[in-house]
Chains A and B, each alone.
Chain A
Amino acid sequence: MTEPLDRMTLTLTVNGRTIKVAVHPMARLLDILREEIGLTGTKEGCGEGECGACTVLMNGVPVLACLTPACQVDGAEVVTVEGLAKETLHPIQQAFLEEGGAQCGICTPGMLISAFYYLEHPECAENLREALAGNQCRCTGYTKIFSSVRKAAERLGKTIPEV
């Protein structure tokens, strides 16, 4: 008879590097990233899927790392906020810096990942508001976040709807 697992070894690729970790199968991807791998860029805001601070890309698609269990990430490719900058900041990060898109910073990693996904796949949402919905910011009132993403879109030569 098959025994249920209370520990499993996972292989996953995070920001291009393949890593093995041994964790509880219901451990959150968020904790694997922060505690096991030491990538603390991804933040825990609410821990229950409401705030978007822990948004990462898994196999190219945005997911909430707080709601993603370890048993479902074996073999996955994950991109966190640390994976955006190469030699220099990513244009979205640079625009956030210039436009004041980040204040306290808790929502920023989720905003950056969601914005990155949207600019790569503008067809995924009706507009920028829908693309960033679910990423809550309690500092900026969103205006500066929207202007940051628009500036980045312009620099990247991406066309996104006005409203």
Chain B
Amino acid sequence: MPEASLLDFSVFNPRRLDEALSLLAEEENVVPLAGGTDLMVTLETGNLSPCRFLNLMGIAEFQEPFSWCDGKLRMSPLCSYRDTRIDKDVATRYPLLVRAAREVGVLAIQSRGTWAGNIVNASPAADGVPVLMVYDAEVELRSTSGTRTVPLCDFYRGYKEMDRASDELVTGIILPPPPEDRIEYFRKVAPRRLQAITKVLLTGYLLRSDDRIEDCRIVLGSVAPFTLRARETESILRGSVLDSETIKAARAALQGEISPIDDIRSTAMYRRNVAERLLDEFLLSASPESH
């Protein structure tokens, strides 16, 4: 079959959000386009069905990457990894965002790639989504009929399946302030330090009072059909004393809720093994003896 040519594609260039939402509501086959770091690759490799792109870059309401409201951080759908790396306030309050941002591709990708694009691209190997999930991010979706928010950890339904209607646009990512005194963890395992796609990623935080775990978040990449918040593992940990018995139980819970596969980047067995070791490393680093 001949590859699709550019003739199969066209572009809407709205300047305002209401224009963009009307186009999404009224036109068929419209695909929102932010930095293009995923869509341009799909387009160039001939793997994209004919469509009309909705170019979000010119939308006036999206130009400021960050805003703060009632102590919450709001990220514009055009907020890039680079924007995040250079914002001192964001780096101080949400350090994991910067940890993840600096490991997405390389500088020339980080300057164009967006967090919102990472969310809707819905790759199980997404590097931006896990840290957003750790911080209890909410996805704001808007259409001509209204606005709603969905917790990011409930946004995915299956492989590349999302709680987003075709007329809805991601118009913001909202992050509440995370708890004080938490111990954070982020580790991406890939064949190289940069410009590499994740084999296994584990990130989270743990809040401890003495040796008891008050609260925690554990999120993994590349071990399930979508970015996985390990709720079972979290519930084992929450309220428990952080000791070797708890760690053992957490490992077992983790093995029960991940479902890694063999693919071109790794094997299910390797991913299970590494996921467990990352959990170990996280929990040991958060244990009273380490602090």
Q: Within the complex, what minimum Cβ distance (angstroms) separates A144 from chain B?
A: 20
Across the interface, name the chain A residue whose C-beta is closest to B40: A67
Give bound CA distance, A24 to B9, whole Å: 9
Q: Within the complex, what minimum Cβ distance (angstroms) separates A64 from chain B?
A: 5
Across the interface, name the chain B residue whose C-beta is closest to A49: B41
B267: Cβ under 8 A from any A Cβ: no
Q: Which residues of A from 4 to 19 have beta carbons under 8 Å from B? A: 4-6, 8
Stretch of A96-104, A124-132, A155-163 on the interface side = A124-132
**Interfacial chain B residues near A117, Cβ < 8 Å:** 107
Q: A26-B9, A134-B109 are in contact. Are A49 and B37 (CB under 8 A)?
A: yes
**Interfacial chain B residues near A134, Cβ < 8 Å:** 105-109, 194-195
Interface of B is mostly: mixed
Q: A6-B7, A48-B44, A133-B194 are in contact. Are A68 and B106 (CB under 8 A)?
A: no
Number of residues on chain B facing chain A (CB within 8 A): 36
Tell me whether B195 and A50 are in contact (CB under 8 A).
yes
B277: Cβ under 8 A from any A Cβ: no
Q: Which residues of A from 130 to 157 have beta carbons under 8 Å from B? A: 130-131, 133-134
**Interfacial chain A residues near B53, Cβ < 8 Å:** 25-26, 69, 71
> Could you give, for residues 49-74 of chain A, a 1 whenever the CB lies within 8 Å of some chain B CB and a 0 otherwise?
11010010000011110111101100
Across the interface, name the chain A residue whose C-beta is closest to B27: A4
Give bound CA distance, A130 to B44, whole Å: 27
Across the interface, name the chain A residue whose C-beta is closest to B9: A26
Q: Within the complex, what minimum Cβ distance (angstroms) separates B143 from chain A?
A: 17
Tell me whether B36 and A69 are in contact (CB under 8 A).
yes
**Interfacial chain A residues near B14, Cβ < 8 Å:** 2
Q: Chain A interface (Cβ within 8 Å of chain B)? A: 1-2, 4-6, 8, 24-28, 47-50, 52, 55, 61-64, 66-69, 71-72, 114, 117, 124-125, 130-131, 133-134
22 residue pairs of the A-B complex, CB under 8 angstroms, read A2-B23, A4-B27, A5-B11, A6-B7, A25-B10, A26-B9, A26-B43, A47-B44, A48-B41, A50-B195, A52-B106, A52-B108, A66-B44, A67-B41, A68-B36, A68-B112, A71-B55, A117-B107, A130-B194, A133-B106, A133-B194, A134-B107
